[in-house]
Structure 1
Amino acid sequence: MSPEIPQYISILFILTTLTTIWLFKRAFKPSQTTLVILYAWLGLQGYLASSGFYQDTTSLPPKFGLALIPALILIAYIFLSAKGKKFMDKLDPESLYWIHTVRVPVEIVLWMLFASSLIPQIMTFEGRNYDIIAGLTVPLIIFYGIRKPIIDKNRLLLWNVLCLFLLLNIVVMAILSVEGPFQTMSFHIPNKGVLLFPFIWLPCFIVPTVLFSHLVSIRHLLKK
């Protein structure tokens, strides 16, 4: 854990990551091999962040891409491959939606990082990040859209699309706030916190998991 970050923030985020892993296992029922790869990936990213690898923000291409791009490539492969499509068809819709509850503690952690001057205010719910809305509303979606079909398919689809844009909004702001050649905002307080351990697990694991859950849910709804 970085000495400049209050310990309780790091502990809260580690607990959030562990919760995401539990929800990931509940939703996707991964094999032991997949879990080993996941833990190795988290370990590698944690090591790189702890060693200061990501704090070098002047390189081209940006090192930050190593935390996010591999997961995006994997998602693309799943959607394009026949095995991946069969895998997605078998996933339980309700379990996919429960994953979005982690967006509430994630937003609390981001606000704490802002209070510690490690990320800009625009990356919090006090700024331009409204992603917490997805986490707060998902229980209603589960109970009235999945368990009780009061919310129809079109409204479920709209919720997924809107919350997907909320996710993309904060991801774009986070990338453009990192110090380096692509920084276009938040020069006064750049995004440094997400490049540190354990918060690197946000772009390398939590964000891709939430993104994949939305995309699979949208695919299910469009196939109905």
Structure 2
Amino acid sequence: MDQAVSLPLLLFFGLTVLLTLFFLAKATQSKVVILGSIGWILLQSAVSLSGFYLNISTLPPHFALALFPPLAFVLGILFFPAGKRLADNMKLDWTILLHTVRIPVEITLFYLFLAHQVPALMTFEAGNIDILAGLTAPIIWWARRKGKLNNKLFLTWNAFCLVTLANVVARALLSAPFRFQRIAFDQPTVAVLYFPFVLLPAFIVPAVLFCHLATLRTLLVPTPASSAR
């Protein structure tokens, strides 16, 4: 990186990755997902440490390797029977709690901005409101536990959180130093090309998206398994 990132921030983000893995394990209770996630985290860590993602001149960029496989897995819950069964049996309380990791993620992005590794537009001070999803997640979790959360409100909250996620992902992609960069040329999003921050788009964002889509499937396509949760 052009400017060193502090060790506390590296450790803080590393704990955020582990917390995401913990919540995902609790939500899915699937050995395949857990072991697959650990393997994917180790693979992406090794690839990013090798400097592979620093080649930004190709089209598609090398960085596509960090994005497309988890995206394909997430979309699998919509189109393949095994994915649908996994989604139908997820523990909704834990899928809600997973979204609390968006709080430390936004804190990380703020300090990466101070270190000149992401632009201001990636922070909550400049229009990235994804932190609201994390801040409201405990409230939604509590309301569901107390039986005060109806499906309409739950659906609205998930839809809102998906919009905030799409907003920050679009900002990240358009400000990344690839050929299709359109914004933030003075301070692009470069942190994600390095370990451990590559795990934000390669693991945390897909995990968040996966939980949203699984929840929406439960709400919009109820099954006997989902109604029991």
TM-score by length of 2: 0.92
The secondary structure found in structure 1 opposite 2:212 is helix
Does structure 2 retain, via aligned residues, the 8 Å contact 1:2–1:197?
no
- Find the aligned partners of 2:33 and 2:92 in 1 and give their Cα distance: 21
Does structure 2 retain, via aligned residues, the 8 Å contact 1:55–1:195?
yes
Equivalent position of 2:7 in the other structure: 7
Equivalent position of 1:172 in the other structure: 170
- Find the aligned partners of 1:3 and 1:120 in 2 and give their Cα distance: 14
- Find the aligned partners of 1:221 and 1:127 in 2 and give their Cα distance: 33
Does structure 2 retain, via aligned residues, the 8 Å contact 1:2–1:50?
no
Which amino acid in 2 is paired with 1:222?
L
- Find the aligned partners of 1:130 and 1:150 in 2 and give their Cα distance: 25
The alpha carbon displacement at 1:2 in A equals: 9.2
The alpha carbon displacement at 1:50 in A equals: 1.4
Which consecutive aligned stretches of 4+ in structure 1 deviate over 6 angstroms post-superposition?
none
The alignment covers a number of residue pairs equal to: 222
The secondary structure found in structure 1 opposite 2:161 is helix
The alpha carbon displacement at 1:30 in A equals: 2.0
Equivalent position of 1:185 in the other structure: 183
Alignment of 1:36-51 (within 5 A): 36-51=35-50
Equivalent position of 1:96 in the other structure: 95
- Find the aligned partners of 1:213 and 1:2 in 2 and give their Cα distance: 34
Unaligned runs of 5+ in 1: none
TM-score by length of 1: 0.94
The alpha carbon displacement at 1:5 in A equals: 1.4
Equivalent position of 2:226 in the other structure: none
Which amino acid in 1 is paired with 2:4?
E
Does structure 1 retain, via aligned residues, the 8 Å contact 2:28–2:89?
no
1:66 to 2:65 alignment: yes
- Find the aligned partners of 2:33 and 2:159 in 1 and give their Cα distance: 28
The secondary structure found in structure 2 opposite 1:126 is helix
The secondary structure found in structure 2 opposite 1:191 is coil
- Find the aligned partners of 2:176 and 2:50 in 1 and give their Cα distance: 18
Does structure 2 retain, via aligned residues, the 8 Å contact 1:57–1:178?
no
Alignment of 1:1-224 (within 5 A): 4-31=4-31, 33-144=32-143, 146-224=144-222
Does structure 2 retain, via aligned residues, the 8 Å contact 1:2–1:196?
no
- Find the aligned partners of 1:139 and 1:108 in 2 and give their Cα distance: 17
- Find the aligned partners of 1:28 and 1:53 in 2 and give their Cα distance: 31
The secondary structure found in structure 1 opposite 2:124 is coil
RMSD value, Cα? 1.6
Does structure 2 retain, via aligned residues, the 8 Å contact 1:27–1:92?
yes
- Find the aligned partners of 2:142 and 2:55 in 1 and give their Cα distance: 45
